[in-house]
Amino acid sequence: MKKQLIAALVLLAPLCISPVQADQKSNGPVAQAPGTVTFYVTRHGKTMFNTAHRMQGWSDTPLTAAGVEVASQLGKGLKDVPFTAVYSSDSGRARETAKLVLAAAGQSNPIIEESSLRETCFGSFEGTLESVTWEPVAKKLGFKDFESMGKGLGKSEITLDQMMDTLASTDPSGQTETAAQVRTRMQNELRTIAGKVSAAGGGNVLVVSHGMAILTMLKGWAPDDQLREPLKNASVTKITYQNGKFTVGQVGDMSYVEKGKQ
């Protein structure tokens, strides 16, 4: 009788292990709670204006050969991440990046374009040299020049919000967006997407947007010391949405691109 009881317990043991415990034991992916949304927010590939160091907000230029390459590398690095939905700003450079990422990842999701995911509008400064545009801002904020202001941002002597708001105040057209305007539209859009995907059961979502807009959106969600460096083209910032709350992981992660290169 004792031997029969032991045999029965051995047979039943595997059935008593929960799915999450089994995943942990086999080093596989840990199961997420239903409705959890994981965002892979990426900056578009490098463009002509990026190469020429010109202001590029709502204006648009195509990806360079390097921009196409890094977007494809990102896609290869994300091939093991199945996307439930794909969103992009309605700028051509973001749309093109999204297409390249999906093609390299072997996925064919429809790309949903949203104007709310655009880069900061730079008004009358669109297309001008970055150094020339930011020079008056640097001096107004007490820095010697544009380069010094950049170093000040990295050393926590100034915030991105201050830079953006000062630039907006110097635009004679009044069209340059403030940090609050950009943050509001970006965060609201992510909340809208999160709500839709979560209600449908959750999943992974690719979002292709722009450097300054992404960093501005993260203010208040991530520690300020994570928002000091400009985002590289095709970098990934992972954000998890669960029970109405956003949790930011690594900001500006280039490991997916590096993985795609191999």
pLDDT digits (tens, 9 = 90+) for 134-157: 999 999 999 999 999 999 999 989
The pLDDT, as a whole number, for residue 159 is: 95
* Nearest of 74, 62, 56, 38 to residue 233 by alpha carbon: 74
**Does the pLDDT at position 28 exceed 90?**
no
pLDDT of residue 19: 31
- What number of other Cβ atoms are within 10 A of residue 207's Cβ? 26
49, 59 contact by CB (below 8 A): yes
What integer is the mean pLDDT of 128-139? 96
Q: Is the pLDDT of residue 2 over 50?
A: no
- E-strand stretches of the chain: 37-43, 83-89, 111-114, 203-209, 236-242, 245-248
Exposure on the CB side of residue 163, measured as CA atoms within 13 A: 27
Between 26 and 220, the more confident residue is: 220
* Domains by residue range for the chain, with CATH: 37-118+178-261 (3.40.50.1240)
Please say whether the dihedral angle defined by the alpha carbons of residues 34, 36, 40 and 41, taken in this order, is positive or negative. positive
- pLDDT (mean) for 74-99: 98
pLDDT at 33 over 50: yes
| pLDDT per residue as tens digits for the range 154-202 | 998 999 999 999 999 999 999 999 999 999 999 999 999 999 999 999 9
> Residues 36-57: pLDDT tens digits?
999 999 999 999 999 999 999 9
* pLDDT number for residue 166: 98
Taking all residues of the chain, what is their mean pLDDT, rounded to a whole number?
90
Look up residue 165 and give its amino acid. Answer: D
